[in-house]
Amino acid sequence: MSLTRLAWANLRAAPLITALNVGLLALGTATIVVLLLLSHQIAETLTRDAEGIDLVLGAKGSPVQLVLSTVYHADIPTGNIPLAEARRWTEDQRVAQAIPLSLGDSARGFRIVGTTPAYPALYDAGLAEGRLWDESLEAVLGAEVALATGLRPGDVLTGSHGLSGMGDRHAESPYRVVGVLSSTGAVVDRLILTGLESVWDIHAGEHHHGHEGDPAAEGGSPGEHPDHESDEEHAHEDDEEPHEGEAEHGHHDAPSLDPRTEAGDDREITAMLVRYASPIAAVSMPRQVNAQSNLQAAAPAFELARLLRIVGLGLDGLRAFALILIASAGFSVFGAMYGALQARRGELAMMRCLGASRMEIMASLLIEGLLLGLAGAALGVLLGHVTVEAVGSVFTAGRGVSLTGAILLSDELLLAAALVLVALIAAAVPAWQAYRTDVSRTLASHA
């Protein structure tokens, strides 16, 4: 009989103890695997979504909230800012590109973002169907939006005020879907994109029909005009041809809405995504914006590092718990094998008499520990991946993070090797004692 078959037979002789040891090892391993997969994919998603964005200009408030709401679309915006004020800063020579965003509405659980074609280009999102928007109230769907809603070019989509989908519906101003973006794995997949003029037209129309007062009191909708003069202007627009009204108020096609080229007015946006012309701008521009304007400048890279540190504190506690489980499993393996050794001393001595060497006896016990470690590692890795896949399929839809268990990290291989080493160390003491067993004394004590 080979040593491996002998070790396996010994493990099968005590199935309950073997299952307990494998279960403890697997539970600790699975916990660490889940943490590794979650932290890796969350960090990767956050980094990818912020790639190419050096600075966010928005309303005063929490910089973390500003970044979460405008870069990751995972929070409520801090407010609106005048387009003219944002344009003043983005005309700075330190700015290579500026992409405006207007938020505040949603449809079918997905956020509607007023922007320019530069925004999908930021994520290399090409068109899978149709085209980009050319006129007001035309919309382009992200890949996940199209998959979840079943909408295609030519369909009609009605938005509602607010990001929860529970606000007043804009039934009088439906969007016409004109395109669907290809899948990128980035945040743009979960958005409905339209031109800035669409957001301005919808909320300006609401204002004309009786939404008077401070825009902030009405939920901070982008582009609303609080003064009576604007009401008269919109009333005048209704009597004119649409193209003339749009020309009067600057409602041009999306490509002409680059804030670096358009004349300033009293319209508002939610934020401006900025890319520096050179890295040295990061030293001076954020501080200057925060000190010399009513805007807030937040660096996604800095806020991302803060978020990951905060998340890391919680993950460290879970990792410590998983390590305790693995250490407990190691002591359990040691206790089980040490107890089995005491019960099998006579059997081992008889094997020595039948020709087994000291090294073979010791090797059989080490192989038992190896088999326990391999079984625990394999089961733990499998359980961890299944758990993450289940979490990803059930809980992450539309939440800004895509999780999958169908990836293998190099750290998992190191973890499996460490787990096998723990099991071997736990088996080493009983194996060494078996190696040193005095055959004659053992047989005499069992006579």
**What pLDDT digit, counting tens, does each position of 369-378 carry?**
899 889 989 9
CA distance 1 to 8: 11
Tell me the longest C-alpha to C-alpha distance in the chain: 114
For 12, residues 6+ apart whose C-beta sits below 8 A from its C-beta are 18
CA distance 357 to 230: 98
Which of 436 and 415 is assigned the larger pLDDT? 415
Query: What share of residues in the chain are helix, strand, coil (percent, to 5)?
Result: 55, 15, 30
Which of 340 and 11 is assigned the larger pLDDT? 11
| pLDDT at 64 (0 to 100) | 92
Q: Which residue in 109, 271, 75, 110 sits closest to 192, CA to CA?
A: 110
* pLDDT exceeds 60 at position 312: yes
Number of neighbours of residue 359 by Cβ within 10 angstroms? 10
Of 107-121, 209-223, 228-242, 330-344, where does the model show the most confidence? 107-121
Work out the average pLDDT over 295-317.
80
pTM equals 0.69
Work out the average pLDDT over 172-191.
92
Of 242-246, 299-303, 359-363, where does the model show the most confidence? 299-303
Q: Which residue in 24, 156, 153, 32 sits closest to 412, CA to CA?
A: 32
Residue type, 350: M
| pLDDT at 246 (0 to 100) | 38
Work out the average pLDDT over 29-34.
88
| pLDDT at 135 (0 to 100) | 93
Work out the average pLDDT over 381-401.
78
**DSSP assignment, residue 109?**
T
Q: Do 263 and 50 contact (CB within 8 A), yes or no?
A: no
**DSSP assignment, residue 410?**
H
Q: Residue 389 is encoded by which pair of tokens?
A: 């896949």
| pLDDT at 124 (0 to 100) | 93
| pLDDT at 121 (0 to 100) | 95
Work out the average pLDDT over 166-184.
84
Mean pLDDT, rounded, of the chain:
79
* pLDDT exceeds 80 at position 204: no
Work out the average pLDDT over 153-163.
86
The owner of tokens 């005590």 is 14
| pLDDT at 5 (0 to 100) | 84
Helix, strand, or coil here: 12?
helix
Residues 388/394/398/401 CA torsion (nearest 10 deg):
-10
Give CA angle at 386 (384, 389), nearest 5°: 110
Helix, strand, or coil here: 64?
helix
* pLDDT exceeds 80 at position 280: yes
| pLDDT at 71 (0 to 100) | 94
Which of 215 and 405 is assigned the larger pLDDT? 405
Domain residue spans of the chain: 3-46+307-445, 55-298
| pLDDT at 137 (0 to 100) | 93
Q: Among 37-51, 90-104, 183-197, which is the least confidently predicted range?
A: 37-51
CA distance 183 to 128: 8
Confidence band, pLDDT 50/70/90 cuts, at residue 430: confident
| pLDDT at 221 (0 to 100) | 41
Q: Residue 12 is encoded by which pair of tokens?
A: 């099968």
CA distance 100 to 372: 58
Alpha helices in 152-261 (DSSP H): 196-208, 228-239, 242-249
CA distance 349 to 351: 5
Number of neighbours of residue 229 by Cβ within 10 angstroms? 10
| pLDDT at 440 (0 to 100) | 63
Q: Do 204 and 256 contact (CB within 8 A), yes or no?
A: no
- Angstrom CA distances, 17 to 21, 372, 383, stand at 6, 11, 20
Write out pLDDT tens, residues 341-367.
666 666 666 676 766 777 887 888 889
Q: Residue 355 is encoded by which pair of tokens?
A: 């020709």
Q: Residue 166 is encoded by which pair of tokens?
A: 């529970």
Backbone φ/ψ region at 220: left (φ over 0), alpha (ψ -120 to 50), beta: left
Confidence band, pLDDT 50/70/90 cuts, at residue 115: very high
| pLDDT at 125 (0 to 100) | 94
CA distance 184 to 186: 5
Q: Among 144-153, 379-388, 414-423, which is the least confidently predicted range?
A: 414-423
Of 153-157, 222-226, 313-317, 322-326, where does the model show the most confidence? 153-157
Q: Among 16-25, 333-342, 407-416, 436-445, which is the least confidently predicted range?
A: 436-445
Confidence band, pLDDT 50/70/90 cuts, at residue 113: very high
